[in-house]
Chains A and B, each alone.
Chain A
Amino acid sequence: MKKKLVVLLTASLVLGLTACGGSKPAAEPAAEEKTEEEAPAEETAEEAPAEEEAPAEETAAAEVMSYADFMAAEVDDPVTVETYVQAKQGWWDGAVTMYTQNEEGAYFIYNMPISEEDNEALVPGTKIRVSGYKAVFSGEVEISDVQSYEVIDAEPYIAEATDVTAALGTDDLETYMNYFAAFKGLTVAPSTDPDGNEVAYLYKWDGSGNDGDDLYFNVTDGTNTYSFTVESYLTGAGTDVYEAVKALEIGQKIDMEGFLYWYEGPNPHITSVTVVE
């Protein structure tokens, strides 16, 4: 009898402890860190939605779109694309921002949640399938609020730089938004620093920054002047392009390559610069 009782008591305690372990303390943090823009999408999918309502979970699993379909999609529409990593900004706080491109077109993927370890594996050329939402921020068309991504086993693809020099200053340039692009034979034009001096580049757009901040510099094709950027999150201080731009002189003719980012107009993020004259 004693043995039976011991077994009974032990069993009851084990059961009790199991019940305890099965519930998460209220103060316990979520196991996986959420991103700032994560919406409670799953729950909305459980409800019988009204005709116009599109729960995120359903739409996040949409079929892979062509570039044309992506461009035709409305802002805020769920989108899924397969594309290749071309370059990444620095991983930060569980997310990465990427410049990607496939044979059809280019996609800027903003703040995709990913662990630091997994991010290391996303080397240039890696094919990924990404589901998120189409967004436009200050003119830049992008995929934001990424719901899921998957690495696809495929031959790596690195895009050749598309020469868009002739499209500078035209409406046509926008069709190359986010492309890895080449800009050839442009001349370094002066920027004006806060003291009124003519300089070849500025730290931050108005010269209020310091070494390590974004570099802004002007180039001209002889007719128009354009603002180019060395984006510090992409190629910061110490990188070849950062140091090369700091060495530029007004009047030098240069060739450049970089990603055709958009901020209220073209704002290329330059990854290489070569002085040709």
Chain B
Amino acid sequence: MKKTGRRFLPLMLALVLVCGILLTGCHGSARRVSFELPEEFDTSRDYNITFWAKNDTNKTQVKIYEKAIKDFESYYPNIHVNIRTYTDYGTIYNDVITNISTNTTPNVCISYPDHIATYLTGENVVVPLDNLLTDEKYGLGGAGVLFDGPSKDEVVPEFLDECTIGGVYYALPYMRSTEACYVNKTYVEKLGFELPETLTWDFVWEVSEAAMEKDKSGSFKVNGQNVLIPFIYKSTDNMMIQMLAQKDAPYSTDGGEIQIFNDDTKDLLYTIGEHARTKAFSTFKIGGYPANFLNAGQCIFAVDSTAGSTWMGSEAPLVDIAADKLVKFETQVMTVPQFDPEHPKMISQGPSVCIFNKEDHQEVLASWLFTQYLLTNDVQIAYAETEGYVPVTLKAQQAEEYQDYLNRGGEDNTDHYQVKIDATQLLIDNIANTFTTPVFNGSASLRDAAGQLIENVTKSERRKEKVDDKYMKELFSSVTSLYRLDQIVTSEGSGGKKDLGPLPAGSKALIGTLVLAWILIGLYVLRDYRQTRAKGGGK
């Protein structure tokens, strides 16, 4: 976890901003032929395929990939998989974009649908999977596949649907997680509150403010320390996205029309700002990792990915702070706060896998076979157990081996760390309550913008700046410019349906001047005509 995140956002920002330009260049590169599934996989040839993978700074995950490759190659000795591992998605994205223009993309790549939407700006860059998924011979669980993989029906439908862009499958889900609120239950009860069955925003704000009370020495009463941030959110983009979704408030259309700058967003920002001003709320980017504050007894509600659960809690197997700073408390893993606890909504996130198109269709088929292998129980279960991930196939989720793993929560503080298994179970229990945001070229920028709104308001409130409607107007404008949200081409907009608003004053002046000029020309012609007629009439 050490030193990974702070540079990531500006990097992502830069990438998102330049990707459009780079991919525009792709249109000028050699045309790629669309993929057609060969009737037969040619096993007489050797194939070298590259796989770009991401691990969460976790060597165990790298080893699982390596084992997967070895096992796959035992089924297909003529396919040689070369892995390249990354520790963040931003670098993968950057490298893919760089390699699209030179036709040197990897064959198989861990990716996010938001990123794939950008890759799709180039023609035939990413292989559509619809036909591959259902092909009787080489499709998921097909008769010609040499290993025991899942059928299409055995992939969790919600997760598979997340891999569609414009109604076409462009990826397979690989792992899924959501966000969880890791709660210091000990402190909540010490403050005189009882945790509800489902966390609500009101409850979290109320407890957080109550926790800010200090004793005469200036220490916080609840922890006896001089540091306390009761509520810390790791990914403020997710925070805003989930709050809007829970309120059924606009974010964007499927076609890419940006709708986030609305009154609901403004109201949410005012509420968040109110608690930022008292310093009952802060963010990872401002202060540091939620896990470190939580484990030091300096945070009560820490929201982070379920895939970060091994860092959470007094007994966490991964710890980033000195042992003498760890505080003992009971950790409760709960869903992220809700506005309507009867109808909870939470984000679905996690890596997917896409396949890049190549001239050699046999090579693409080899890539597809390896991609399928990543969905086998061996890979799914092993990888999911490294963190609070959930396997993306029902086949793996229902496997006896995986059920045994889930049932052994708390048996130890390593493989069966209770918090990790609780976080995993949280997602399994809430798959039907998950959602994703629309994917389009520019959706990654919109996501960043959503978080930026919260970061800016939080900082401004902490600095006692005036946050009012004028501030919000300027904030919306500056964030729009920063993330080029006004340059996103919407699929709705191409038909001319988009309301572009009133004409700028300069445009009105130009049109007015042109009209005046034509009137003057008309008057001149009329005058000239009359004079000519008058002269003619005199003859």
Contacts and interface: CB of A to CB of B under 8 A. Distances in A.
Contacts of B287: 136-138
A128 to B, nearest CB: 21
A209 interface: yes
5 contacts: A39-B460, A110-B6, A136-B287, A194-B63, A264-B321
Interface stretch (A6-14, A98-106, A174-182, A245-253): A6-14
A12 B14 contact: no
Interface in A5-33: 5, 8-9, 12-13, 15-17, 19-23, 26-27, 29-30
Interface of A: 5, 8-9, 12-13, 15-17, 19-23, 26-27, 29-30, 34-41, 43-44, 47, 49-50, 52-56, 59, 76-78, 92-93, 95, 110-111, 133, 135-139, 145, 194, 204-210, 214, 233, 263-265
B509 A16 contact: yes
A19 B475 CA distance: 27
B486 A55 contact: no
Interface of A is mostly: loop
- 9 tightest A-B contacts by CB? A16-B513, A23-B506, A194-B59, A138-B288, A19-B509, A40-B474, A93-B14, A16-B510, A208-B59
Contacts of B471: 40, 43-44
Contacts of A49: 466
A151 to B, nearest CB: 23
B533 interface: no
B456 A37 contact: yes
Nearest to A90: B7
Given A5-B524, A37-B455, A264-B320, A27 B513 contact: no
Contacts of B520: 5, 8-9, 12
Contacts of B9: 36
Contact of B87 (A43, A95, A136, A208): A208
B474 A43 contact: yes
Contacts of A135: 286
B513 A12 contact: yes
Contacts of B521: 9
A252 to B, nearest CB: 24
B470 to A, nearest CB: 6
Contacts of B510: 16-17, 19-20
B456 A23 contact: no
A5 to B, nearest CB: 6
B478 A12 contact: no
Contact of B289 (A5, A16, A138, A233): A138
A137 B288 contact: yes
Contact of A23 (B504, B517, B524): B504
Interface in B1-23: 2-3, 6-7, 9-11, 13-14
B260 to A, nearest CB: 17
B413 to A, nearest CB: 17
Given A205-B2, A208-B55, 17 more contacts: A12-B513, A15-B509, A16-B514, A19-B510, A22-B506, A27-B487, A36-B10, A40-B477, A54-B464, A56-B465, A137-B6, A204-B87, A205-B57, A208-B57, A208-B62, A214-B3, A264-B325
Contacts of A43: 470-471, 474
Interface string B485-500: 0110000000000001
B62 A35 contact: no
A33 to B, nearest CB: 8
B521 to A, nearest CB: 7
Contacts of B509: 15-16, 19-20
A207 B478 contact: no
Interface string B144-168: 0000000000000000000000000
Given A16-B510, A17-B510, A36-B452, A54 B57 contact: no
B466 A53 contact: yes
Interface string B428-459: 00000000000000000000000010011001
Q: Which of A59, A95, A111, A264 has the most CB of B within 10 A?
A: A264
B462 interface: yes
